[in-house]
């Protein structure tokens, strides 16, 4: 196969995920506010080789299909009903692949830790060895409950044997099947027409495709993962939390190596889609989700939350108990205490006083509006800026103000009732 050969993926996402004990479909559970299925589709798309994805849906099919169609232009859903095993699931895309002369990548929709880098290595190995089929495998010290990879003396795949069918010798094998496959489609597609359900579960299994390929004398091999964490499948809320921790540790390790200071990695969560430049400091108990760009020399936290679609210029300070969402903040602006900045554009050298809120949401019309605050402006403590308001350059907002109109450059905006003092109030109330 040429390096330019295009790939289409089949992503298995039909399962109920009973152990999640949730009305939400398993593949739509989130880490850093991003769906598990989204991690898998992105990993495939980001290889630059996958042109189209077929997502096999079943349980809560409408919900999963709605997510896929709203999020990805190159993904289509195919319904598996009834659900008769992994081989039957993949077969639902068979008609779509009629006449396709490239490669087919089969993935599971609940493996968010699998990286694009690994997929590219997997594809490269498959092509270099001119395989008809390559299965992604991993070495586990305790391989219990996994299908074992049985090899010939030349390293080619001989079989994948499930634990219940394995001999004692086969059970001692530590290389296991992760359920990820790459197929030379013109060579292997007929395997799907030869599946049978002659097993205790009366289901059609993907491992039978491996069996068919080997029986035809075609070359099948395994590709061993360098990092077993990438094969981690999510089947429970406990595993969801474990995957989130693995992912955040992976992200933080990279950031530390890139010159970012993370004061307390144990209490800090940063999404993999967040870019942070060197010499920025992330203080404890900070949570950053979604896609963000943070320039150098920023200070964030402690107890700060960045919710996605945020850009911070050089030297910005986001302080304790501050929440930022869908906002662009230019260099050397301070949002230091107890504030909410959402759907906003803040200029350079702006000072946001403690307790400032940009009120961006109309709960009746469900509309959101943008607040704009220009360079060198400032807001006093406990201010509310009601969008769409524009605060001009060098303008000031007095403490305790509710601003619902534009404030021009160099002006002071102030809404405050006159102060009234009732002398000797304490003694009168006391008596």
Active site residues: 337
* Angle in degrees, CA 261, 262, 264, rounded to 5: 145
Cβ 294 vs Cβ 300: under 8 Å: yes
Q: How many CA atoms lie within 13 A of 130 on its CB side?
A: 1
Which whole-number Å values give the CA distances from 25 to 33, 60, 241, in the listed order?
Answer: 15, 6, 16
How far apart, in whole angstroms, are the C-alpha atoms of residue 27 and residue 289?
18
Range 393-397 contact pairs with CB under 8 angstroms and sequence separation of 24 or more: 393/347, 397/353
Cβ 102 vs Cβ 93: under 8 Å: no
How far apart, in whole angstroms, are the C-alpha atoms of residue 15 and residue 335?
44
Q: Please tell me whether residue 60 adopts helix, strand or coil conformation.
A: strand
How far apart, in whole angstroms, are the C-alpha atoms of residue 60 and residue 63?
6
The secondary structure element, H or E, covering residue 86 is: helix 86-91
Which whole-number Å values give the CA distances from 49 to 3, 180, 226, in the listed order?
Answer: 9, 16, 21
135 closest CA partner among 221, 10, 12, 236:
221
How far apart, in whole angstroms, are the C-alpha atoms of residue 383 and residue 160?
65
Give the residue carrying structure tokens 């495709």: 209
Cis peptide, bond prior to residue 253, ω within 30 of zero: no
């Amino acid at each position: 196969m040429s390096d330019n050969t295009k790939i289409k993926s089949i992503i298995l996402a039909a399962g109920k995920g009973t152990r999640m004990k949730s009305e939400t479909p398993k593949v739509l559970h989130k880490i850093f506010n991003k769906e598990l299925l989204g991690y898998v589709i992105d990993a495939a798309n980001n290889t630059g080789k996958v042109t189209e994805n077929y997502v096999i849906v079943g349980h809560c099919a409408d919900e999963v299909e709605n997510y896929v169609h709203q999020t990805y232009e190159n993904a289509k859903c195919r319904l598996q009903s009834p659900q008769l095993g992994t081989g039957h699931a993949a077969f639902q895309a068979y008609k779509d692949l009629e006449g396709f002369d490239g490669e087919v990548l089969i993935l599971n929709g609940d493996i968010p830790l699998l990286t694009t880098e690994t997929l590219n290595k997997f594809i490269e190995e498959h092509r270099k060895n001119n395989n008809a089929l390559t299965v992604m495998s991993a070495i586990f010290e305790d391989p219990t409950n996994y299908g074992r990879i049985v090899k010939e003396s030349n390293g080619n795949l001989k079989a994948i044997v499930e634990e219940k069918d394995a001999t004692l010798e086969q059970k001692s094998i530590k290389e296991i099947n992760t359920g990820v496959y790459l197929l030379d489609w013109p060579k292997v597609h007929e395997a799907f027409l030869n599946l049978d359900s002659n097993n205790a579960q009366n289901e059609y299994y993907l491992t039978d495709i491996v069996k068919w390929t080997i029986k035809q004398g075609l070359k099948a091999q395994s590709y061993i993962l360098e990092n077993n964490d990438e094969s981690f499948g999510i089947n429970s809320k406990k595993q969801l939390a474990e995957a989130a921790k693995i992912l955040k540790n992976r992200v933080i390790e990279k950031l530390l190596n890139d010159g970012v200071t993370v004061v307390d990695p144990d209490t800090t969560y940063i999404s993999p889609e967040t870019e942070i430049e060197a010499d920025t400091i992330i203080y404890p108990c900070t949570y950053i989700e979604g896609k963000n760009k943070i320039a150098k020399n920023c200070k964030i936290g402690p107890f700060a939350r960045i919710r996605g679609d945020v850009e911070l210029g050089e030297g910005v300070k986001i302080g304790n108990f501050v929440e930022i969402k869908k906002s662009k903040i230019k260099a050397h602006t301070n949002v230091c205490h107890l504030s909410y900045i959402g759907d906003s554009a803040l200029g350079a050298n702006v000072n946001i006083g403690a307790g400032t809120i940009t009120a961006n949401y109309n709960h009746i019309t469900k509309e959101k509006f943008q607040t704009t605050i220009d360079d060198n402006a400032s807001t006093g403590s406990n201010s509310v800026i009601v969008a769409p308001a524009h605060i001009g350059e060098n303008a000031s907002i007095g403490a305790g103000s509710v601003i619902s109109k534009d404030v021009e450059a160099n002006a002071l905006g102030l809404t405050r009732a006159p102060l009234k003092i009732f002398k000797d109030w304490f003694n009168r109330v006391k008596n």
